[in-house]
């Protein structure tokens, strides 16, 4: 959702109607994964993508019908090898796409949640037919918003929490109750709505400049922390989302650290790197990397170990930092670091 949110917000504020298409299932090879979105207006403004080629034309035409009728549609595209490339799918691919009118109030609640740095999960009913498109929005711990026809119970909350924690959308079956207290088995699609991943750079080194550029291109929010104002100026980092010119122990009081956060330490200065490490090693961030040779890493571990930090926590530090690409230049080193962050985030051995 995050990649299409800015355009949707602009259209909603302009009073335009918005249709949202979401990939809810794929089989075989598909250009876009489950959860991919395309949003568009009846007059032809489009953002995002659900596939490519003629499928998106068909989705757009269906969206116009949905706009007129108000009834959502579940579309299935299955193609043979001979015609696959004509409709934008890889050979033998199949894809299900759900097309609905955007609920502006629900969208605003999701957007506010993201701005606050919080995740949510959107449950959409796919079956039975008479409930198609009914929705509920959950946080990890509570129901945030719902239509009035369903009584969402513990199972829905648990599945939504699981989706938020894994970051993976899913199609599932579950039991709910209607407002008439009747049990109902539904098929639903659970879509986690997550804040963008964050990269915190401790140290405004030359590598950091390239790393900010690469991270932003990959959709990461970037924060530069460095008390040395010459190294962390806005002129040096014009594209960083946030610059905090103070010591890490104070800077991290201003930053929300969660499992969607990565941290890299690039100063080589224990007065800056070590205080940051003490904080992030106790946090749920998914990646911690520290620049330095094997000797520098050993000395760092020895210092922190002497302070009582456990070996288990110290093992969270990736160092020497980055994938072994044979990198030499600051830009190549930044690429190696960002590659390792992506590998860790996607669950691949780095």
pLDDT of residue 92: 57
Tell me whether residue 96 is in a domain. Answer: yes
> 70, 102, 134: which is the final residue of a domain?
102
Confidence band of 292 (pLDDT split at 50, 70, 90): confident
Please state, in angstroms and rounded to a whole number, the distance separating the CA atoms of residues 37 and 99. 10
Q: Is residue 217 scored above 80 in pLDDT?
A: yes
Mean per-residue pLDDT over the chain, rounded: 89
Please state, in angstroms and rounded to a whole number, the distance separating the CA atoms of residues 67 and 111. 22
Tell me whether residue 294 is in a domain. Answer: yes
pLDDT of residue 51: 80
Question: Which percentage of the chain shows pLDDT scores above 70?
Answer: 93
**Are residues 121 and 88 part of one domain?**
no
Tell me whether residue 11 is in a domain. Answer: yes
| CA distances (Å), origin 25, targets 4, 89, 188, 189, 312 | 19, 13, 12, 9, 39
Q: Which domain holds residue 277?
A: 198-345
Residues 87-146: tens digit of each pLDDT: 555 555 788 999 999 999 999 999 998 888 788 999 999 999 989 999 999 998 899 999
* Residue range 60-82: mean pLDDT, rounded: 85
Q: Is residue 32 scored above 80 in pLDDT?
A: no
Confidence band of 215 (pLDDT split at 50, 70, 90): very high
pLDDT of residue 253: 93
**Are residues 214 and 245 part of one domain?**
yes
Q: Is residue 256 scored above 80 in pLDDT?
A: yes
User: Cβ contacts of residue 220 below 8 Å, gap of 6+?
Assistant: 196, 197, 198, 199, 262
**Are residues 212 and 250 part of one domain?**
yes
> 52, 79, 102: which is the final residue of a domain?
102
Do 121 and 137 meet the contact criterion of CB atoms below 8 Å apart?
yes
Answer with the residue of higher pLDDT: 42 or 195: 42
Residues 58-67: tens digit of each pLDDT: 899 999 999 9
> 193, 219, 240: which is the final residue of a domain?
193
Tell me whether residue 350 is in a domain. Answer: no
* Residue range 275-303: mean pLDDT, rounded: 92
* Residue range 323-347: mean pLDDT, rounded: 93
* Residue range 151-168: mean pLDDT, rounded: 90
**Are residues 89 and 148 part of one domain?**
no
| CA distances (Å), origin 300, targets 9, 93, 203, 262, 324 | 46, 50, 16, 19, 21
**Are residues 228 and 155 part of one domain?**
no
**Are residues 186 and 291 part of one domain?**
no
**Are residues 243 and 205 part of one domain?**
yes
**Are residues 315 and 207 part of one domain?**
yes
Tell me whether residue 42 is in a domain. Answer: yes
Q: Name the domain count of the chain.
A: 3
Tell me whether residue 8 is in a domain. Answer: yes
37 closest CA partner among 82, 102, 123: 102
pLDDT of residue 196: 85
Tell me whether residue 279 is in a domain. Answer: yes
pLDDT of residue 332: 96
**Are residues 258 and 152 part of one domain?**
no
CATH of the domain at 313: 3.40.50.720
Tell me whether residue 186 is in a domain. Answer: yes
**Are residues 58 and 167 part of one domain?**
no
Please state, in angstroms and rounded to a whole number, the distance separating the CA atoms of residues 138 and 110. 10
CA 278 distance to own-chain centroid: 26
Confidence band of 350 (pLDDT split at 50, 70, 90): low
132 closest CA partner among 71, 173, 76, 179: 71
DSSP string, 27-73: ES--SS-TT-EEEE-TTS-EEE-SS-HHHHHHHHHHHHHHHHH---E
Do 194 and 168 meet the contact criterion of CB atoms below 8 Å apart?
no
pLDDT of residue 83: 47
**Are residues 301 and 282 part of one domain?**
yes
């Amino acid at each position: 959702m995050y990649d299409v949110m800015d355009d949707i917000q602009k259209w909603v504020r302009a009073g335009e109607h918005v249709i949202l298409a979401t990939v809810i299932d794929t089989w075989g090879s598909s250009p876009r994964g489950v959860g991919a979105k395309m949003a568009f207006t009846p007059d032809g403004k489009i953002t995002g993508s659900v596939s490519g080629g003629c499928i998106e034309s068909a989705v757009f035409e269906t969206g116009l019908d949905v706009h007129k009728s108000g009834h959502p549609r579940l579309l299935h595209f299955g193609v043979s090898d001979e015609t696959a490339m004509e409709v934008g799918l890889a050979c033998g691919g199949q894809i299900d796409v759900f097309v609905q009118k955007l609920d502006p109030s629900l969208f605003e609640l999701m957007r506010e949640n993201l701005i606050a740095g919080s995740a949510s999960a959107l449950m959409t009913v796919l079956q039975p037919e008479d409930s198609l498109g009914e929705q509920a929005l959950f946080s990890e711990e509570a129901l945030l918003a719902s239509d009035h026809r369903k009584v969402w119970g513990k199972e829905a909350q648990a599945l939504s929490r699981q989706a938020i924690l894994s970051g993976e959308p899913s199609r599932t079956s579950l039991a709910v109750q209607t407002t008439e207290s009747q049990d109902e088995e539904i098929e639903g699609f659970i879509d986690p709505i997550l804040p963008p991943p964050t990269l915190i750079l401790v140290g405004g080194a030359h590598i950091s400049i390239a790393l900010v550029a690469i991270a932003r291109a990959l959709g990461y929010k970037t924060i530069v922390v460095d008390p040395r104002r010459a190294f962390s100026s806005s002129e040096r980092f014009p594209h960083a989302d946030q610059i905090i010119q103070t010591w890490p122990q104070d800077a991290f009081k201003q930053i929300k650290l969660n499992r969607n956060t990565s941290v890299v330490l690039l100063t080589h200065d224990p007065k800056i790197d070590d205080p940051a490490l003490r904080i992030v090693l106790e946090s749920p961030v998914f990646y911690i990397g520290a620049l330095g040779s094997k000797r520098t890493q050993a000395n760092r571990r020895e210092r922190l170990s002497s302070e009582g930090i456990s070996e288990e926590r110290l093992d969270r530090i990736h160092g020497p930092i980055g994938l072994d690409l044979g990198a030499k230049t600051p830009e190549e080193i930044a690429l190696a670091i960002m590659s390792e962050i992506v590998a860790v985030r996607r669950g691949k051995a780095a």
